[in-house]
Structure 1
Amino acid sequence: MNGKKVVLDTNFLLVPHQFRIDVFGEIDGLLEFPHTYVIPSGVKRELEKLAEGRGDEGAAARLGLKMLRAKGCTEVESRGNVDNWIRKYAKKENAIVATNDRELRNKLKKDGVKVVILQSKSRLGIV
């Protein structure tokens, strides 16, 4: 893998359907250095479970999975609680995390990890 890793969280992958934002295009525009996308296996499992459902959440999860396949994201085996795994992985790999989970975002910021978030429901930003 070349460049910095960007770890994708479940709720972040629901954004394209919910807010009509191309999250990969936005991140590519924000990060002016080489980067690769990483999807924890636990996040992929969560998306697959949500995708079985009906309504907006199921549709959002199906779109998220489709975008993951199209972008060729690297799946990394994760164990245990997904949020805890993301924190440990991001610190170990000096990775950026893309999430809208406020609690996880606050913990990551305390850890000194850069976080990509949805700002004002129309664009992404880094905190």
Structure 2
Amino acid sequence: MTEKSNPRQIVLDTNFLLIPAQFGVDIFSEIDRVCAFRHKIAVMEGTLKELEHLAAMGTAPEKREARLAQGLVRSYRPKVIPMEGMDVDAALLELPPEEAIVATQDQALKRKLMERGIPLLVLRKEKHLELIGQ
């Protein structure tokens, strides 16, 4: 990827935003470490709604995790991608592989993304991130 090209979008799934609360991993520092190219953090519009739902209706631990994730979103101000009536997973599967990397821990979604050639960012050993399919 050349310097003049657009930054690659790293789209964070809901479960990925819960990693800091669940495992104490600074996902944003890890993204910068692993992705040594121009990138921009993004989330799907539905991800924000899922976090709101968890913060309001989840179990006590889910509420705490979701609120921490909401705070991170407010601090880092990612680009919000509209979804046009799709659910989050369907919208993630529609992303162009050459423009986006999806950060998720959802096993079924990871399989589908890999089948479509969309690169993944995943947590390994509950400590660090790894880029797959780049």
Query: What is the TM-score of this pair, normalised by structure 1?
Result: 0.93
2:120 partner amino acid: V
2:95 partner amino acid: Y
Give 1:122 deviation, angstroms: 1.1
Give 1:54 deviation, angstroms: 4.3
- 5+ unaligned residues in a row in structure 2: which ranges? 1-5
Question: Does the 8 Å contact 1:90/1:97 carry over to 2?
Answer: no
How is 1:54-65 mapped onto 2 (pairs within 5 angstroms)? 54-65=59-70
1:102 partner amino acid: Q
Give secondary structure in 2 for the equivalent of 1:57: helix
Distance in 2 of aligned mates of 1:97 and 1:54 = 26
Tell me the residue number matched to 2:55.
51
Query: What is the TM-score of this pair, normalised by structure 2?
Result: 0.88
Distance in 2 of aligned mates of 1:94 and 1:76 = 13
Tell me the residue number matched to 1:88.
94
Bigger fraction of residues in helix: 1
1:31 partner amino acid: C
Give 1:90 deviation, angstroms: 4.1
Answer with 1 or 2: which has the greater Rg: 2
Question: Structure 1 residues 67, 90: CA separation in 2 closer, same or farther (over 3 Å shift)?
Answer: farther
Q: Which is further off, 10-19 or 54-63? A: 54-63
Matched, 1:99 2:104: yes
| Structure 1 segments of 4+ aligned residues over 2 angstroms from their partners | none
Superposed CA RMSD: 1.3
Identity %: 37
User: How many aligned residue pairs are there?
Assistant: 125
How is 1:27-38 mapped onto 2 (pairs within 5 angstroms)? 27-38=31-42
Question: Does the 8 Å contact 1:97/1:114 carry over to 2?
Answer: yes
Matched, 1:121 2:116: no
- 5+ unaligned residues in a row in structure 1: which ranges? none
Give 1:107 deviation, angstroms: 0.7
Tell me the residue number matched to 1:20.
24
Give 1:94 deviation, angstroms: 2.3
Give secondary structure in 1 for the equivalent of 2:129: strand
Distance in 1 of aligned mates of 2:102 and 2:13 = 7
